[in-house]
Amino acid sequence: GEAPDRPQVELVAGPAAPPPAEIHLRGLTVEEALRRLEAYLDDAYLAGISPVRVVHGRGTGTLRRAVREFLGRHPLVSQFRPAEEFAGGDGVTVVELAARPGVALRR
């Protein structure tokens, strides 16, 4: 049989894996989207990733407005802007995060 005391090896990316450089929020409620965005910005900041892309879609504009209002108040956000038209235009917001002291940004 199997030795019960052998540790199982899990090939799952743990917290050491940096987050992707974009997050997709399309189709979520504003509340859920902002909750995910907040956690994502923290992760990206800690990993030294900037800029990041927030994909909220064009839709009715409700999510886009809520996301940009949230970004405007967020302490880790230095600036944000709509993506270039070829890169998603108004359906995507590009976010520059504040630099962490002593950490070089990965580009």
Domain boundaries, the chain: 22-97
Q: Kindly list the distances between the CA atom of residue 74 and the CA atoms of 1, 17, 45, 69, in Å, as whole numbers in the listed order.
A: 55, 24, 12, 9
pLDDT of residue 106: 58
CATH tag, 22-97: 3.30.1370.110
Band of the pLDDT at 8, cuts 50, 70, 90?
Answer: low
Instruction: Identify the residue with better confidence: 59 or 54.
Output: 54
Mean pLDDT, rounded, of the chain? 87
Quick one: pLDDT at residue 5? Answer: 65
Per-residue H/E/C for 15-83 = CCCCCCCEEECCCCCHHHHHHHHHHHHHHHHHHCECCEEEECCCCCCHHHHHHHHHHHHCCCEEEEEEC
Is the pLDDT at 63 greater than 90? The verdict is yes
